[in-house]
Amino acid sequence: MVSESSHDVAQPLIATLLSSFAQHAAVLNGRRVWLACSGGRDSLSLAAICLQLYHQGKLPFLPQLLHVNHGLQAANDAWAKQVQAWAEEHGMSCQILPARVQGSDEQAARQARYDALMQVMNIGDVLILAHHRNDQVETVLMRLFNGAGVNGLSGMQEWSDKTCRNKAQKAKTIHLWRPWLPVSRAQITDYAQGVCLDYIDDPTNEMPASPSKHDDLAFKSPLGLEALNDRAWLRSVIMPQIQARFPQVSSAIARSSQLLSDANSIVMAQAQDDLTTCLYQDSDRSRQWQLTAELAHLQSILDINLVLDLPAARQSALIHYWLSPKATDLPPPKRLVDDVLELCLRQDNDHQTCLHWQSAPDNSQHGYEIRRYRQRLFRLRSDWSAWLASPPRSQELLLRDMLFNKKLLKQWLLDGGSSKYCELKHSHHAFSWQLQHLSELTANLLVSLADTNSDNLALQFEPLPRDLPLRLAGRIGSKSGKKLLQALQLPQFMRGSVILCSLIYKQADDQAATSRVLPHRTPLFILSMTGVTVLQSSQTAVIQSWLSHHHPVMRLRHNLH
C-alpha cells in the first residue's frame, strides 16, 4: 500500500507527465511507445509512474522497456538482469539490447545506445526518455563551455525527432519524448526512496565524494577517457559549489534555456525567410540551376549579392541554417560559417576553393562541399559532387529503331507512357539522369529530313569534345573548350557532366555487325545540369519547337535516399 507521504512526492511527477501527455496526445495516438530504462532512479521511476497511471486509466498505453547493455562494466550483466526481473515482476514488457561502442568518447557511447534502440524500433515510434531539469542544466552548461549558440543553449527539447541508420544503412526516424524536463533530480529521488524503488546507482555518473589530489582529473570511465566524465565532474564538483552560492541556479538556467529556445524559433523563422529570398534564380527561365524539391538536399545555390545585402547577424544565421538542411545534420561550427562568409567576400577569380563539412555524427552518412562560382554559392552533397565529376555515357540511337523497334520501345517506355527516353549517365544506379520525349524529337527530325535516306540516321550522345568549335543558337561566331563552357556559365565542378547531342549518319558494314560513322555530323544541342542549350544548325527550329512543347525534357532522380 502506498503511504500518504509517498503519494505526496509522486504528485509533481504525475502532474508533469500527464500535462506533457495532454500536450502531445494527438501525436502519440496510435503510435508504439517505448521507454529507455537503464535501471537508474530516473528511468525506473518514470517506468513505475507510467505503470501506475496506466492501471488507473489515466495513460492509454503501457510503454515497453528497452535496456541497453554496453558490456563496458563488470556489473552491466547484473544490471540487465535486475531491470528484466523488475519488469517481469510488474508485468511490463522488456527487451535487453546489446550495444557495441565504436569510439572512445561520450558521443560514441550515445550513438551506440541509439543504434541498439533503432534495431527494434520502427519508423514513427516514440521513445520516452527520463531526462529532467538537472540534466537540462548540465547540457546547457556543457554546450556553453563548447561555445554553442542560441540553438545549442536552448538545451534538450521536450519533443524532437531522431534519425539514425540501421544495419542496412537505411534511415529511420523516431520521436523522442522527454516529459520530465521540468522535474528536478531531488523530486525524483524523493519519490524513488519513498516507494523503496530498487534502482541502480551507476558509479560513473558521479565523481568520488572526497577525491584526493588530482582525482577529479584521473577519474576514468570504462571507456578509459576523462572526457567521457565531464558531465559527472560538472555534476559532482562544480554544481554543488554554484548551488551553495546561488540556490535557484537550476531553475534559473532552465528558464534561460526556455527563453533561448523561444529566441531560436524566431531566429530560425527569419533564416527560413532569408533562405527563400536568397536562393539563386537565373533570369533566363530556360535554365534550371536549383534541383527539384525532391532533390533539394543534394544541391542548393545562394545568390551571394543577396546574402551580402543582409545585416551581418542574419548572414551568419542564414549560412548556419543553410549548411545543415536535414534533421540528421549536426549544427555547423562557427569557424565553418565564418569561412563560408569569407568565401562570399572574396574578390579574386579563383573558383577552385572547396570547403568540406562532415555534417553527420558518424562517417556513414554523406557530408557536403561548399563551392563558389561567380556570384553563386553552392552546397553540394558529397555523393552528388562525385557523381557530377563522373563521365557520361557515349551512345548512338538509330532514329528508325526509336520509332519502330518493339524491343527498344518496351525498354524505353517511361512509367507506362508513350514517350521514349535514354539514360544519359550511369553511376552505380545512385542517380538516374534521363532525356525524355525522344519519340517526338525523332518524328520531328524524320519529317524535317524527309528527302534524306533516314534508315541510318542516329542521335549520338557523347561527353562534350573540348576541341570541337560550336555555335550557340542566335550567337555570332563559334567557341570551343574553356570559352564555350564559360559561355554556358557552367562551374568547373559541373563540367564533367556536359553532353553533346549530334545527328549523325551511320553506314552499315557488310562484313560485320558494327558500323562506322561518316565524317560529317550535325551538332544539335548541349545537355548539362542547368538545362538544354540549342546549337545553330539546319535543325535549330526543330529542336526549339520540341523544347517549347515538352518541358522539361530531362529528368533527374536520386534512387538511394
At residue 222, the pLDDT reads 43
Global pTM exceeds 0.75: yes
Give residue 218's pLDDT.
41
Which of 390, 376, 372, 367 has the alpha carbon at shortest distance from 297?
367
Listed ranges 272-281, 295-304, 392-401, 497-506; the one with the highest mean pLDDT: 272-281
Return the residue matching grid coordinates 556536359: 498
Angle at 159 between CA 156 and CA 160, to 5 degrees: 75
Query: How far separated are the first and last CA of the chain, in Å rounded?
Result: 54
User: What is the DSSP track for 414-457?
Assistant: -TTSS---EEEE-STTSEEEEE--HHHHHHHHHHHTTTS--TTE
pLDDT tens-digit profile of 17-31? 999 999 999 999 999
Query: What nine digits make up the cell of 476?
Result: 555570332
User: For 438-451, how does the pLDDT look when each residue is reduced to its tens digit (9 = 90+)?
Assistant: 888 888 888 888 77
pLDDT of residue 357: 92
Tell me what pLDDT residue 289 has: 79
Structural Rg of the chain based on CA atoms: 31
Contact 384, 356 (CB under 8 A): no
Q: Is the pLDDT of residue 252 over 60?
A: yes
pLDDT at 456: 80
Tell me what pLDDT residue 353 has.
Answer: 86
List Cβ neighbours of 105 (8 Å cut-off, separation of 6 or more): 223, 225, 227, 228
Q: What's the mean per-residue pLDDT of the chain?
A: 84
Q: Residue 219 above 70 pLDDT?
A: no
SS3 333: coil
Percent of the chain clearing pLDDT 90 (strictly above): 49
Task: Examine the pLDDT at 89 and tell me if it is beyond 70.
Answer: yes
Give the integer Cα–Cα distance in Å for 188 and 86.
18
The full set of domains in the chain, from first to last, is 4-203 (3.40.50.620), 279-388 (no CATH), 390-558 (no CATH)
Q: With beta carbons less than 8 A apart as the criterion, state whether 463 and 500 touch.
A: yes
pLDDT given at position 23: 96
Tell me what pLDDT residue 206 has.
66
Please tell me the predicted confidence (pLDDT) of residue 228: 47
Q: Which of 338, 141, 311, 101 is nearest to 225 (CA)?
A: 101
Contact 185, 133 (CB under 8 A): yes
Let me know if 406 is exposed, middle or buried by CB neighbors in 10 A (0-12, 13-18, 19+): exposed
For 246-310, give the DSSP string: -TTHHHHHHHHHHHHHHHHHHHHHHHHHHHHHHB---SSTT---SPPGGGTTTEEEEEHHHHHTS
pLDDT in tens, 299-354: 999 999 999 999 999 999 999 999 998 877 888 888 999 999 999 998 877 667 89
